[in-house]
A and B are shown apart, each in its own frame.
Chain A
Amino acid sequence: MDSIRVKRLKKGYGRGLPPAVDIREGFSVSEGELFGIIGPDGAGKTTLFRLLTTLISPDEGDAVVQGLDIIRDYRKLRTIIGYMPGRFSLYPDLSVRENLDFFASVFGTSIKENYHLIEDIYCRLEPFADRKAGNLSGGMKQKLALCCTLIHSPEVLFLDEPTTGVDPSSRREFWETLARLRRTGMTIVVSTAYMDEANRCDRVAMMRSGRFLKVDTPSDIVAGFDRRLLAVRSDEMFRLLQDLRSMEEVVKCYTFGDTHHVVLKENAACAPDEIGHRLTGKYGHTGVQVREQAATLEDCYMNLDD
């Protein structure tokens, strides 16, 4: 069964500006799915979240979450969804415990009732229960925010860049929690800027300029990458980037870790060695290494715009 079904959705801010979200093809998220959204800043991810969580109403659109219309049934919908915005938005002047208590009572429940959902996160927070939420570290704040979002046992969870600015070990813990929540049958929609996180999702939507360009499982997205990709290194990495970009076979070239990834034109039939020779000969690079590279999710993301 589909947990979220969007036929079309459009929302613009002010005249003259292109709409922030303009989904025409529609998509759906099935129940218990971990659905990731990746896209550059300004792609409309947050606006999409705010639309689906009934915070703003669309200019036009037709979307249903758990069988409830986001416009008509917004009041009922609010009782069964959890939304964690990208920015920390709990009461900084209340303590950890007071925040949790408050959000529990807002949803007409208590901490005790749904403790099993937050147990493994909250046990980390427990030593700081009396500390003001505003004085917590970034990772702790995120944990508390997740607790507050989970306290009413929502059926659908919306997480807007939950791990931005969180250290790697906290990020891993966070995703382990998500995986565990997913096993309880909760539908989770999460946006992220980290490709390793996107890889952990059941399906990923690549978003740009308010549109979904591709919605698929991470492996299918990678498999669907139909260009030839090379990884190139030399001793002068910065000049190499310029030089590669000036070659006519190259569509795109960007840094990727300690190498440059080069996307070749479809009809370019040149072998890696040929590029290597040209770089050593014509451009005078030393220590040149060129090899074929299998695409990763990040490569797909970098090549979204065409």
Chain B
Amino acid sequence: MSAFRYLIIKEMKQFNSNRFMPFVLVLLPVVLMLFVPLLANMEIRNVRLTIVDHDRSATSSLLVDRILQSDYFKSAGYRDSYSQAMDDMGMGRTDIIMEIPADMEKRIGRGEQVGIFIAANAVNSTKGSIGGGYLSSIVSDFSAGLAENSGGRVEMPLVVTPQFRYNPHLDYKLFMVPAMMIVVIVLIGGFFATMSIVTEKETGTIEQINVSPVRKRDFIFSKVVFYGFLGIIAFTLAFLIGHFVYGLAPHGGLPELYVGAILFLIFMAGFGLLISNYSDTLLQSVFLMLFFVLVFMLMSGIFTPVSSMETWAQYLTYFLPTTYFVNILRAVCLKGSQFQDLAFNYIMLSVFAVLINIIAIVTYRKQK
């Protein structure tokens, strides 16, 4: 029997004998995928809107009606002046003020562009910015409607904000689901393997292996393969939920997803090995891992868009492999992108995977 085979069998037995681990393997993707996107939802409803209508025309009341018809906004009343409305906001009675300038209807009639002023309370910044975003998109919708009615005399009489492509309703769930798929891979592919190596260090079993003819290479490789395999299982489970529950990746793109996932798993395995090289106890390794994983997750645009980061932070994201993997996942799941569209991301992910494994192997060798 080859060394690799009985090492894998041993890993399997150990994994099975643990009452907890197989459970986690299934529960983790299910809970993360089913509940977190629903709970950690940044969709905003019932944003309170105060209207300062200086125009008081048919058009302005039509616009207000349109806005209030949507689920997102509810009226917090009309005010005669902006300063009165600001007082409301100061008292916390309203979230967003929309000020419609005087003579809006007339100016639209003359073919001029009219600016509508929106002030959002940014104390709750997500509510403010996302609410503001919704409002802009409703106004531009309305504006487009006006343009049609005017028979194309004026294009877009009201100031237009860009559309939200691929996630037109800013559906945060679609943003969250690929993020959760990454979390699943990080936790299972990265944490499990590291913890298993360090546990062997802690219990001293690694010494028993070291005094035996088993090569260290085989020993480490068996762990990487076994936990990589578990990572793929968990990823598949997460993908199936994403596909059937959230309608993700309607265009397929399975090869793109799995090549990305495998590259990322190779990276995580190398990274886990690197961590285990520098930690003697489980506690140490988990904290080290947690530290880096948090950096990977929070700074690479998994949960927050890279485009909204500071410029220097945007450059920083180029050094985080998760950035490329999340790009791949989002592009494939939401846009149906293919290999050639994402070549840069795949190349960068491969570079990271190779580099980290070289570092891991070199530092591993130096230990003895």
Q: How far is the CA of A74 from the CA of B130 in the complex (A)?
A: 65
**Complex Cα spacing A132 to B210, Å:** 22
Contact of A103 among B18, B204, B212 (CB under 8 A): B212
Q: In the assembled complex, how far is the CB of residue B18 from the closest CB belonging to chain A, in whole angstroms?
A: 6
Total contacts A to B, CB within 8 angstroms? 61
- Cα-based distance from A142 to B211 in the complex (angstroms): 18
Is the pair B211, A102 in contact by a Cβ cutoff of 8 Å?
Answer: no
A4-12, A80-88, A186-194, A216-224 - the one binding chain B:
A80-88
A75 cross-chain contacts in B, Cβ below 8 A: 213
Report the minimum CB–CB distance from B82 to chain A (whole Å): 68
- In the bound complex, how far is the Cα of B313 from the Cα of A218, in angstroms? 72
Please tell me which stretch of A49-57, A243-251, A263-271 contacts chain B, meaning at least 4 of its Cβ atoms lie within 8 angstroms of it.
A49-57
Tell me what chain B mostly uses at the interface: helix, strand, loop, or mixed.
helix
A85-109 interface with B by 8 A CB criterion:
85, 87-95, 98, 102-103, 105-108
Are A89 and B214 within 8 A (Cβ)?
no
Q: Which residues of B sit under 8 angstroms from A103, Cβ to Cβ?
A: 208, 212
Quick one: which of A81, A91, A94, A105 contacts B6, CB cutoff 8 A?
A105
> Which residues of the other chain, A, contact B209 by a CB distance below 8 angstroms?
106
Q: Which of B188-233 contact A (CB under 8 A)?
A: 203-205, 207-214
Which residues from B are CB-within-8-Å of A107? Answer: 212-213
In the complex with contacts A78-B211, A78-B212, A106-B6 CB distance below 8 A: yes
B204 nearest in chain A by CB position: A89
- Known contacts A81-B211, A83-B211; A93/B10 CB under 8 A: no
Q: B149 within 8 Å of A by Cβ? A: no
Which parts of B6-27 form the interface with A (CB within 8 Å)?
6, 10, 13-14, 17-18
Report the bound CA distance from A148 to B204 in whole Å: 14
> CA separation between A70 and B210, bound complex, in Å?
14
Interface of A, secondary structure class, is loop
**Chain A residue contacts of B214, Cβ below 8 A:** 106
Given contact pairs A91-B205, A92-B203, A94-B10, A132 touches B211 in the complex (Cβ within 8 A) = no
- When C-beta atoms are compared, the residue in chain A nearest to B3 turns out to be A106
Contact of B211 among A54, A57, A90, A98 (CB under 8 A): A54
User: Whole-angstrom distance from the CB of B191 to the nearest CB of chain A?
Assistant: 17
B-side contacts of A57, CB under 8 Å: 368
Please provide the chain B residues from 100 to 158 with a CB less than 8 Å away from any CB of chain A in the complex: none
Given contacts A89-B205, A105-B1, contact A94 B14 (CB under 8 A): yes
Indicate if the CB atoms of A102 and B207 lie closer than 8 Å: no
Complex CA–CA separation, A157 to B348 (angstroms)? 51
Is A293 positioned at the interface, with any CB of B under 8 Å from its CB? no
Size range of the chain B interface in the assembly: 20 to 34
Assess the A91–B14 pair: CB atoms within 8 A: yes
A98 to B207, CA, bound (A): 18
Q: Which residues of B contact A87 (CB under 8 A)?
A: 204
Interface string of B72-98 (1 = CB under 8 A from A): 000000000000000000000000000
Q: Specify which of A81, A94, A108 is in contact with B17 (CB 8 Å cutoff).
A: A94
Say whether B368 contacts A56, CB under 8 Å: yes
- Give bound CA distance, A56 to B210, whole Å: 10
Q: How distant is B214 from chain A, measured CB to nearest CB, in Å?
A: 5
Task: Give bound CA distance, A147 to B229, whole Å.
Answer: 33
Q: What residues of B have a CB within 8 angstroms of the CB of A255 in the complex?
A: none
B208 — which chain A residues lie within 8 A by C-beta? Answer: 83, 85, 89-90, 103, 148
A132 touching B17 in the complex, CB below 8 Å, given contacts A78-B211, A91-B203, A103-B212:
yes
Q: A79 contacts the other chain (Cβ, under 8 Å)?
A: yes
Out of B1, B205, B213, B368, which one reaches A90, CB within 8 Å? B205
Partner of A102, one of B6, B18, B213, B368: B6
Do A55 and B6 touch (CB < 8 A)? no
The answer for the CA separation of A78 and B3 in the assembled complex, in Å, is 15
Residues of B within 8 A of A94 (CB): 10, 13-14, 17
8 Å CB contact of B207 from A79, A89, A91, A132: A89
Q: In the bound complex, do residue A93 and residue B210 qualify as a contact, i.e. CB atoms below 8 Å apart?
A: no
Considering the chains assembled together, what is the distance between the CA atoms of A94 and B18 in angstroms? Answer: 9
Q: Would you call B213 and A79 a contact (CB within 8 A)?
A: yes
Measured in the bound complex, the distance between the Cα atoms of B206 and A90 in whole Å is: 9
Complex: A119 Cα to B203 Cα, angstroms: 27
Q: Nearest-CB distance from A142 to chain B (Å)?
A: 14
User: CA–CA, A266 to B210, complex, Å?
Assistant: 50
Q: Which of A262-280 contact B (CB under 8 A)?
A: none
B14 neighbours in A (Cβ, 8 Å): 91, 93-94
Whole-angstrom CA separation of A91 from B6 in the bound complex: 14
Select which of A54, A78, A85, A95 is within 8 A of B204 by beta carbon.
A85
Q: Which chain A residues lie closer than 8 Å to B13 at the CB level?
A: 94, 98
Q: Which residues of B contact A102 (CB under 8 A)?
A: 6, 10
Nearest A-chain residue to B21, judged by Cβ: A93
- Tell me the complex Cα distance, A167–B18, Å: 30
In the complex, what distance in Å separates the CA atom of A92 from the CA atom of B204?
11
Contacts of B207 in A (CB 8 A): 55, 83, 85, 89
Closest to A88 in B: B204
A93→B214 CA distance, assembly (Å): 20
Cα separation A103 to B210 with both chains bound (whole Å): 12
Q: How far is the CA of A89 from the CA of B208 in the complex (A)?
A: 7
- Chain B residues, CB < 8 A from A90: 205, 208
Q: Are A55 and B212 in contact (CB under 8 A)?
A: no
Residue of B nearest to A53 (CB): B211
Bound-complex Cα distance A94 to B203 (A): 13
Closest residue of A by beta carbon distance from B209: A106
Q: How far is the CB of A259 from chain B (nearest CB, A)?
A: 40
Contact code string A46-73 (vs B, CB < 8 Å = 1, else 0) = 0000000111110000000000000000
Q: Would you mind naming 19 contact pairs between A and B with Cβ atoms under 8 Å apart?
A: A53-B211, A54-B211, A55-B207, A55-B210, A78-B213, A81-B211, A83-B208, A85-B204, A85-B207, A89-B204, A89-B205, A90-B208, A91-B14, A92-B203, A93-B14, A94-B10, A98-B13, A102-B10, A105-B6
Additional pairs, 8, CB under 8 Å, beyond known A89-B203, A106-B3: A55-B211, A57-B368, A85-B208, A89-B208, A90-B208, A106-B6, A106-B214, A107-B212
Closest 3 pairs between A and B when the two form their complex, measured CB to CB: A89-B204, A105-B6, A83-B211
